[in-house]
Chains A and B, each alone.
Chain A
Amino acid sequence: MTNAVAGLGLAPDAAMVTFPIEMFLPGSDITPVQARKGEFYDGLTAWRSAFAADGGSEAPMIRVEGASVEDAFSRANNLMLANRWGDGLPLWPPTRERVSWILAGTAQPRHRSLGTFPPRGGVTTVESCAIALAMAGGRPEYLPVVIAAVEAFLDAESGSAQLQAASGSAFPVVIVNGPIGAAIRLNAGFGCLGPDPQHPAGASIGRALRLLQQNLGGALPGIGTMANYGGLRYTNVVFAEDEANLPAGWAPHGTERHGFAPGTSSISLAFANGATNIRRRGAKKETPEEDALQGMYRMADFMRAPNMPGLAGYEDGTPGILMLPAVVAQTMAGLGWTKASIRQFLWEHSRIPAAELRRAGCRAWIEIDASKVVRESIDLDPWPITASPDNFVVVVAGGGHPTNSYWLQGYSPGVVGRPIELPADFERLLAQAERDLGPR
Chain B
Amino acid sequence: MVTLEFHDPSGAIEVKQAHAPRVSALAGKRIGFVSNEQWQAYRMLPLLKALLETDFPGIEVLPIDAFPQGNAVIGSEETAALVKASGVDAVIIGNAA
Indicate which residue in B5, B17, B52, B95 contacts A63 across the interface (CB closer than 8 Å).
B5
Shortest distance between the CB of A379 and any CB in chain B (Å): 20
- Does A14 count as interface, using CB distance less than 8 angstroms? yes
Bound: A166/B51 CA distance, A: 31
- Does A131 count as interface, using CB distance less than 8 angstroms? yes
Bound: A65/B7 CA distance, A: 15
User: Of residues 18 to 37 in B, which have CB atoms within 8 Å of A's CB atoms?
Assistant: 18-19, 22-26, 31, 37
Q: Once the chains bind, are A14 and B47 in contact (CB under 8 Å)?
A: no
Bound: A95/B8 CA distance, A: 10
Shortest distance between the CB of B72 and any CB in chain A (Å): 3
Q: How many residues of A contact B (CB 8 A)?
A: 80
Indicate which residue in A5, A49, A64 contacts B4 across the interface (CB closer than 8 Å).
A64
Bound: A285/B71 CA distance, A: 53
Residue in B2, B9, B43 whose Cβ sees the most chain A Cβ within 10 Å: B9
- Does B96 count as interface, using CB distance less than 8 angstroms? yes
Q: Once the chains bind, are B51 and A37 in contact (CB under 8 Å)?
A: yes
- Does B58 count as interface, using CB distance less than 8 angstroms? no
Indicate which residue in B17, B90, B97 contacts A44 across the interface (CB closer than 8 Å).
B90
- Does A99 count as interface, using CB distance less than 8 angstroms? yes
Cβ-closest chain A residue relative to B96 = A1
Given A9-B17, A14-B19, A94 contacting B7 (CB threshold 8 A): yes
Q: Once the chains bind, are A44 and B15 in contact (CB under 8 Å)?
A: no
User: Of residues 116 to 140 in A, which have CB atoms within 8 Å of B's CB atoms?
Assistant: 116-117, 120-124, 127-128, 131-132, 135
Indicate which residue in B2, B11, B22, B92 contacts A67 across the interface (CB closer than 8 Å).
B2
Indicate which residue in A26, A45, A58 contacts B12 across the interface (CB closer than 8 Å).
A58
Tell me which residues across on chain B come within 8 A of A23, comparing CB atoms.
Answer: 40, 44
Tell me which residues across on chain B come within 8 A of A71, comparing CB atoms.
Answer: 2
Cβ-closest chain A residue relative to B8 = A59
Q: Once the chains bind, are A65 and B11 in contact (CB under 8 Å)?
A: no
Indicate which residue in B8, B51, B52, B95 contacts A62 across the interface (CB closer than 8 Å).
B8
Tell me which residues across on chain A come within 8 A of B52, comparing CB atoms.
Answer: 41
Q: Once the chains bind, are B72 and A94 in contact (CB under 8 Å)?
A: no
Q: Once the chains bind, are B14 and A44 in contact (CB under 8 Å)?
A: no
Tell me which residues across on chain A come within 8 A of B25, comparing CB atoms.
Answer: 45
Shortest distance between the CB of A208 and any CB in chain B (Å): 10
- Does A359 count as interface, using CB distance less than 8 angstroms? no
Indicate which residue in B6, B16, B39 contacts A61 across the interface (CB closer than 8 Å).
B6
Tell me which residues across on chain A come within 8 A of B55, comparing CB atoms.
Answer: 37, 41
Tell me which residues across on chain A come within 8 A of B1, comparing CB atoms.
Answer: 65-67
User: Of residues 40 to 80 in A, which have CB atoms within 8 Å of B's CB atoms?
Assistant: 40-41, 43-49, 51-69, 71-73, 75-76, 80
- Does A21 count as interface, using CB distance less than 8 angstroms? yes
Q: Once the chains bind, are B6 and A93 in contact (CB under 8 Å)?
A: yes
Q: Once the chains bind, are A46 and B7 in contact (CB under 8 Å)?
A: no
- Does B48 count as interface, using CB distance less than 8 angstroms? yes
Tell me which residues across on chain B come within 8 A of A68, comparing CB atoms.
Answer: 2
Q: A57-B13, A68-B2, A95-B5 are in contact. List 5 more A-B contacts (CB 8 A).
A: A33-B48, A41-B55, A53-B15, A96-B5, A128-B9
List A residues at the B interface (Cβ < 8 Å): 1, 5-6, 9-12, 14-15, 21, 23-26, 28, 30, 33-34, 37, 40-41, 43-49, 51-69, 71-73, 75-76, 80, 83, 85, 93-96, 98-99, 116-117, 120-124, 127-128, 131-132, 135, 211, 215-216, 226, 368-370
17 A-B residue pairings within 8 Å (CB atoms): A11-B19, A14-B19, A44-B26, A44-B31, A45-B25, A56-B12, A63-B5, A69-B2, A71-B2, A72-B2, A94-B7, A95-B6, A123-B11, A128-B9, A132-B9, A226-B97, A370-B73
